[in-house]
Amino acid sequence: MKKFNILILISLLTLILAACGSNDSNTKDATEDDSNKETITFGATTGPYSDMVNKAIKPLLEEKGYDVENIEFSDYVQPNNALDNGDIDANLFQHKIYYEAFAEENNMDLAELIIVPTAPMGLFSNKFNSVEEIEDGSTLTIANDPVNLARTLIMLEDEGLISIAEGTDPLTAALSDIETNNKNLIFHEVEAGQLPRTVESEDLSAVPGNFALAADFDLLDAIALEDMPDDYRNRVVVNSSDLEKDWAKDIKEVVESPEFEEIIDNEFEGFGKPEWMK
């Protein structure tokens, strides 16, 4: 009986070790499969950046042999949650300031893969055809959130309409930082999503590109377009652990290709290109 019990114990140990070995092998295979995956799942917000995935990134990746799926989202929270959960492999909808703050707040380890051409903020007007025509005391609607407000002020300074106090961080510029207001513009702050509607009622409106396109505005109709810093341009974002995966490198490669830039020039007129493209 004692010998029989020992034999049973040895058999159980053998089975356990074999199971562990099998699990290790499966884990290794899963890792290898993930590195050399055949299907890449993107997530993008409905609108121009979903279009960019479908028209520019997807076909070029398919030429490399990948199957590409694109899941559309209607908000700016779920694409990062889906990425962190592993439901998607990459997303395209956000700039650096947003994704870094979101990742820190939600304990996520996200990283940018590459910056893409992005719809700039535009200064729109049904009253004036150029910046030079803007009259003294004109009304201007601007976004009331800190990020878009700062972008607006930098654009206005670039156009010579205002000057901002020296030493101001361009990423955090506020109305209180305006030093000179050359046209005595009257600022009205509203939610960014409402800005396209104000073009009819105000002399001028500074509309972020995504909201302008959602309202069927032509970016080239703006009397001025923002020369945005790269921090405000959208990027392909992945989990940090995936940065060196083969499929991630292939995404970066197709975005850097001349074919991608040609599609942008033909399909996304008015989009500002990142520094690496210039």
Query: CA dist 179 to 141, 144, 168, 173, 185, Å?
Result: 19, 19, 11, 11, 13
| Degrees, nearest 5: CA angle 240-82-105 | 65
The sign of the torsion formed by the CA atoms of 185, 187, 192, 193 equals negative
Residue 201 pLDDT: 96
Query: CA dist 262 to 93, 254, 265, Å?
Result: 21, 12, 5
- Residue ranges and CATH numbers for the domains of the chain are 36-118+231-277 (3.40.190.10), 122-227 (3.40.190.10)
pLDDT in tens, 5-25: 444 444 444 433 344 443 443
Token readout for 236 is 């392909």
Token readout for 220 is 């080239």
Is the overall model pTM greater than 0.85, yes or no? Answer: no
Q: Is the pLDDT of residue 35 over 80?
A: no
Closest CA to 52 of 64, 66, 36, 68: 68
Residue 15 pLDDT: 39
5 three-class SS: helix
Token readout for 228 is 């945005």
Q: How sure is the predictor about 34, in pLDDT bands with cuts at 50, 70 and 90?
A: low
Residue 171 pLDDT: 87
